[in-house]
Amino acid sequence: MLTVIVFLPLLVAVLLAVVPRCSDTAARWVWVGAATIELALIGVVWAGYETPPPGQLAFAERAAWIPGVGSSYHLGVDGLSLPLMAMTAVVFLACAVYALRERHRPRVQASLFLFLQSVCLGVFAAADLILFFVFFDLSIVGMYAVIAGWGHGDRARSALKFFLYTFLGSLALLTGFIGLYAAADPHTFDMPTLTAENPFAGRPLAGGVVLAAILIGLAVKTPTVPFHTWLPPAHTDAPAVGSAVLAGVLLKLGTYGFVRIAAPMLPQAWRGWAWVIVAVGVVSVLYGALVALAQTNLKRMIAYTSINHMGYVVLAVGAAGLVSVDTVEPRAVAVTGAVTQMVSHGLITSALFLLAGVLYERAGSYDLHAYGGLATPAPIFAAFFAVGAFASLGLPAFSGFIAEFQVFAGSIATAPVTAVALLGILVTAALFLRAGQALLTGPTVGCAKGFGDLRPTELWSVGPLLALSLLIGVLPRPLLDLIEPAARTVVDLLGR
């Protein structure tokens, strides 16, 4: 089942690329169709999912791959990966619908995005470090092609910076993986085995070095301060759907690595580094928010809020490492909040980036001050933007609130000093209100004149994303029921 989910988009991508007589319209609809099937398949998995016992994975599939180096083709899902896979399928479907109006080489674009969907789902489903890395690295190649091929502005330079930066990070990650492999006895790259074995138990120094390599690799991808500098240019110059996937899904590959690999496999070292991780999280939250506040380019602003939002995740997983006896509950809450935040941020930020894409497509500018009074000519756009902004700043009734509430409830109970990161929410609220004000209110001026409202493809791509965020915000239980046992397992593993 998981193999089908992971490789179906790749198969369709290859078919789209090699079948010569495939019209552009057909290619667009094939993409939408494939993305819909993917979502349905993941829905089937979700429906049939039963929480596996700790240390095991549901829907596991395993086959020999390179037995000589202890690497196998091993897939599986649990409460950490399944919500992210579902979110990935939703975001990609939204992008497919949004791109129905794409005019620039739609066939190649569809093929490329299906490839990207395959590798992103592969990262979440992988239960072998090498398999994880293969997909992780290919996501960089795919996104590079998206930015360089369909971006605007100084896209070649931004794409190159993105590639070099994240590739360097992925190599640090690989170094860490080899360290885990060499420390395990017998040598293996299998994730559940490594998690169970805790290969660096009793060797804090070596474990710390290996964790540092893995953390750098993941921090570049996430990105956290100070490894974030590739993100703003990459987002600014990427196409709308590229930004949506980059922020919505690709950033999660980094944060997912924290809860899947770094924390459970190196618990002792993680506890040793927990304060550093918390500090990086807090700095990312505050720095991301403050720099976003200073932006006048809407896309750059959303990009910096991503750094802010990912900061909450890092803060929560860092706080989970501050082990003491009476904080098991709050730490589990923090990890649940972190995973919820990944899902929530994926939905909301993708919607915001798609809306930013609408702005650029209509008027060719992301400058907040070039617009004004958009609410009059484009009421639906204005409503959607307002909803997205409120969801992103963590207003109750949206998924962001559920996530951030848990992150803070867990973190502050574990380490009260982390309350300083609450300032980030305040700044985010200010900047989104200010952006909304500049764009939507007042007399209709500048680029806003003659601004067409959302077309059906835009409506049906952005709308469902926001609706899902609202749904999670109102009815969080189904999602939390899925995440909580897995979060509890992570906290237990960290306590070893």
Partner 1 sequence: MMRAELLLPEMLLAGGALVVLLGGSFTPRHRQWILRGVAAAVCVTVIITATVALSTPANTAFDGSYAVDTVTGVARILAATGCLLVLALAGDELAGAARESDAYALLLFATAGAVLLAGATDLLALVVGFLLASIPLYALIGLAGTGAGAEAVLKTYLLGALFGILLLFGVTLLSGITGTTAYAELAARLPDAPRSVVTAAAVAVIGGLMFKAGGFPAHFWVPDAAQGGMAMAATFLTTVPKIGALIAIHRLAGVLPGTSNWPTVVVVLAVASMLLGNLAAYWQTDVRRLLGWSTVSQVGYLLVPVVATGRSDLAQPSLLVYLAGYTVTNIAAFAVAAALPRHRDRMSWRGVAATAPWLTTALVVALLGLVGTPPTAVFVGKLTTASAAWDGGYAWLAVVVFINSALSLFYYLRWLVLLYQPWAVAPPDRPGRWSATVAVVAAVLSLVVGVAAGLVWRAAGG
Burial of 290 per CB tally in 10 Å (0-12, 13-18, 19+): middle
Following DSSP, what letter does each residue of 145-180 receive, concatenated?
HHHHHH--SSHHHHHHHHHHHHHHHHHHHHHHHHHH
CB closer to partner 1 out of 134 and 409: 134
CB closer to partner 1 out of 129 and 487: 129
Map the footprint of partner 1 across residues 45-64, applying CB under 8 A: 64
Q: In sequence order, which residues have a C-beta less than 8 Å from that of residue 318 and are 6 or more positions away?
A: 274, 275, 276, 277, 278, 279, 280, 281
Contact pattern for partner 1 over residues 13 through 52, marking x by CB under 8 A: ----------------------------------------
Report the nearest approach of partner 1 to the CB of residue 171 (Å): 4
Map the footprint of partner 1 across residues 106-135, applying CB under 8 A: 130, 133-134
CB closer to partner 1 out of 124 and 163: 163
Can you list the pairs that 435-439 forms with residues at least 24 positions away whose Cβ atoms lie under 8 Å? 435/298, 435/301, 435/368, 435/389, 436/385, 436/386, 436/389, 438/368, 438/369, 438/371, 438/372, 439/298, 439/368, 439/371, 439/372, 439/374, 439/382, 439/385
- 171 is a site residue for partner 1 (CB under 8 A): yes
3-state secondary structure of 136: helix
CB closer to partner 1 out of 100 and 147: 147
Task: Name residue 63's beta-bridge partners.
Answer: 73
CB closer to partner 1 out of 121 and 486: 121
Burial of 430 per CB tally in 10 Å (0-12, 13-18, 19+): middle
CA 219/CA 213 separation, integer angstroms: 10
Contact pattern for partner 1 over residues 146 through 165, marking x by CB under 8 A: --xx------x---x--xx-
Report the nearest approach of partner 1 to the CB of residue 163 (Å): 6
CB closer to partner 1 out of 66 and 426: 66
Amino acid at 243: S
Report the nearest approach of partner 1 to the CB of residue 136 (Å): 9
**DSSP letter (8 states) at residue 442:** S
Report the nearest approach of partner 1 to the CB of residue 47 (Å): 32
CB closer to partner 1 out of 170 and 305: 170
3-state secondary structure of 494: helix
Stretch that binds partner 1, among 176-184, 252-260, 269-277, 428-436 (CB under 8 A): 176-184
Residue among 11, 19, 69, 467 that touches partner 1 (CB under 8 A): 69
CB closer to partner 1 out of 266 and 479: 266
Residues found near partner 1 in the complex (CB under 8 A): 64-69, 130, 133-134, 137-138, 141, 148-149, 156, 160, 163-164, 167-168, 171-172, 174-175, 178-179, 181-182, 187
